[in-house]
C-alpha cells in the first residue's frame, strides 16, 4: 500500500499513466473487485432511497400508481388496471424465468466449441407463439370492452346534467338545472344548447340553468389551484355532456380515473356518482394548442344542499342561462373552427 493510503500507484505527476501501472478493471483484478465491493452498499442505499422516498405509503402500492378513486364507477377502472398489471407481471415472470433458465442451464461449454441445436419449422412451437399472444389480447379485450360498456351506460333521467364546454384554453360549465323551481320557463331547449342531440341532453322541464366559465388565469378560491371550479353533489348521479367550441379537448378529472374526448361536432356523454367530498384537480388531456397545459380546472364535491346553494349563488351573481355549448353535431360541414376575434 502506498504511503498515502491508496493502492493505486502514482506516476510522477500524481495521476498515473506510467508504464509501472497495474492493469485495472479487466479479468477481475483485486482492485476492481474491491471497487465493486465498495460501490455495492452505495448502490443498495440508492435503491432503497428510490423505493421508499416516493411519498407513497404502503396503502398506495396496491393501486399501482392510480389515484384513490372518488366515484362509484372508478373502482371498476382501478380493477381493470390492476388486472392488466397482474397479467403483464405473470407474462413477465414466465419470460424472465425462461431467459434465466436458458442462461443458466444452456450456457456455452467452457471446454468445447459447439453449436446449439438449430430448430426450424417446428410447427407446434410456431402455433404456440401465435396462439398464446392472441389469447392474451382476447382476454384483455374482453375485460376492457365489458368495463367500457358498463362505464358508458347512461340512465334515462340522471339526477343532474352538466354541459361541459371545452374551448381554447379553458372550460365552461352549463348546469342544466331548474334553479328557480318554475317548470314553465323556459319553454323549450334554449338556443345555446340547441346543438346537442336531444337524447344526449335529456333536457329537464323548466331548466333555465346557470353557468360558470373560466380562463387559464382563474383560481379556485379555496385551494388557489388554477382554473375554474366545477361543483358536484356527493352521492348523486351526474351526466356530463361534453361539447367543444373549437378543437378536440379531453375532459379528465384525475381521481375519477375516467376521461373522455370533447369533440367539435360530436357530443360525448358519461355519468358518474361522486362519493368523496373534497376538491380535486382536472385537466385537458388532449394537446389542443399553445396554452393546452394551462387548461386546468377544479372539481369540488360537496353535499347536495351545498350544491343547490351554489346554483342559487351563481343565479344571484347573474350567471343565469347558458353559454353557447359549441359546434353542432349534425353534418361535417359545420365541423369547422369558428372565427374568434
Judged by the rule CB under 5 A, the positions of this chain that interact with Cu ion are 249, 284, 288, 295
Confirm if 219 and 229 have CB atoms less than 8 A apart.
Answer: no
Q: What's the closest the beta carbon of residue 303 comes to Cu ion, in angstroms?
A: 30
Q: What's the closest the beta carbon of residue 278 comes to Cu ion, in angstroms?
A: 24
Q: Which is nearer to Cu ion, 229 or 237 (CB)?
A: 229
State how far the Cα of 173 lies from the Cα of 228, in Å rounded to an integer.
9
State how far the Cα of 220 lies from the Cα of 300, in Å rounded to an integer.
9
Q: What's the closest the beta carbon of residue 172 comes to Cu ion, in angstroms?
A: 13
Sequence-ordered list of residues with C-beta below 8 angstroms from that of 193, at least 6 positions apart, any chain: 163, 174, 176, 201, 203, 322, 325
State how far the Cα of 98 lies from the Cα of 95, in Å rounded to an integer.
5
Q: Which is nearer to Cu ion, 249 or 310 (CB)?
A: 249
Query: How many Cβ atoms are within 10 Å of 280's Cβ, its own excluded?
Result: 21
Between the two ends of the chain, the Cα-to-Cα distance in Å is 80
Q: What's the closest the beta carbon of residue 267 comes to Cu ion, in angstroms?
A: 17
Q: Which is nearer to Cu ion, 136 or 248 (CB)?
A: 248
Rounded-to-10 torsion of CA 149, 267, 190, 288: 130
Q: What's the closest the beta carbon of residue 248 comes to Cu ion, in angstroms?
A: 8
Rounded-to-10 torsion of CA 329, 242, 320, 296: -140
State how far the Cα of 330 lies from the Cα of 70, in Å rounded to an integer.
35
Q: What's the closest the beta carbon of residue 117 comes to Cu ion, in angstroms?
A: 57
Q: Which is nearer to Cu ion, 193 or 295 (CB)?
A: 295
Amino acid at each position: 500500500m502506498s504511503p498515502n493510503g491508496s493502492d493505486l500507484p502514482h506516476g510522477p505527476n500524481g495521476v498515473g499513466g506510467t508504464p509501472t501501472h497495474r492493469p485495472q478493471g479487466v479479468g477481475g483484478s483485486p482492485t476492481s473487485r474491491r471497487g465493486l465491493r465498495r460501490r455495492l452498499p452505495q448502490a443498495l442505499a440508492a435503491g432503497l432511497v428510490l423505493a421508499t422516498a416516493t411519498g407513497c405509503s404502503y396503502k398506495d402500492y396496491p393501486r399501482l400508481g392510480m389515484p384513490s378513486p372518488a366515484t362509484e364507477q372508478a373502482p371498476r377502472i382501478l380493477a381493470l388496471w390492476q388486472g392488466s398489471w397482474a397479467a403483464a407481471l405473470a407474462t413477465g415472470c414466465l419470460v424472465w424465468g425462461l431467459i434465466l433458465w436458458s442462461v443458466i442451464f444452456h450456457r456455452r461449454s467452457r471446454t468445447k466449441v459447439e453449436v446449439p441445436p438449430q430448430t426450424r419449422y417446428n410447427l407446434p412451437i410456431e402455433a404456440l407463439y401465435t396462439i398464446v399472444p392472441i389469447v392474451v389480447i382476447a382476454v384483455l379485450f374482453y375485460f376492457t370492452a365489458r368495463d367500457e360498456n358498463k362505464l358508458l351506460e347512461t340512465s334515462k333521467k340522471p339526477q343532474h346534467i352538466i354541459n361541459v364546454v371545452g374551448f381554447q384554453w379553458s372550460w365552461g360549465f352549463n348546469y342544466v338545472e331548474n334553479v328557480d323551481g318554475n317548470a314553465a320557463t323556459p319553454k323549450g331547449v334554449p338556443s345555446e344548447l340547441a346543438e346537442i342531440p336531444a337524447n344526449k341532453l335529456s333536457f329537464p322541464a323548466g331548466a333555465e340553468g346557470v353557468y360558470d366559465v373560466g380562463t387559464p388565469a382563474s383560481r379556485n378560491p379555496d385551494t388557489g389551484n388554477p382554473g375554474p371550479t366545477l361543483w358536484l353533489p356527493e352521492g348523486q348521479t351526474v351526466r356530463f355532456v361534453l361539447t367543444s367550441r373549437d378543437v378536440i379537448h379531453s375532459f379528465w378529472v384525475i381521481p375519477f380515473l375516467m376521461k373522455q374526448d370533447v369533440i367539435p361536432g360530436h357530443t360525448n356523454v358519461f355519468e358518474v356518482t361522486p362519493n368523496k367530498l373534497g376538491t380535486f384537480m382536472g385537466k385537458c388531456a388532449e394537446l389542443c394548442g399553445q396554452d393546452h397545459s394551462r387548461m386546468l380546472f377544479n372539481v369540488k364535491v360537496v353535499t347536495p344542499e351545498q350544491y343547490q346553494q351554489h346554483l342559487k349563488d351563481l343565479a344571484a351573481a347573474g350567471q343565469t342561462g347558458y353559454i353557447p355549448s359549441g359546434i353542432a353535431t349534425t353534418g361535417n360541414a359545420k365541423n369547422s373552427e369558428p372565427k374568434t376575434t
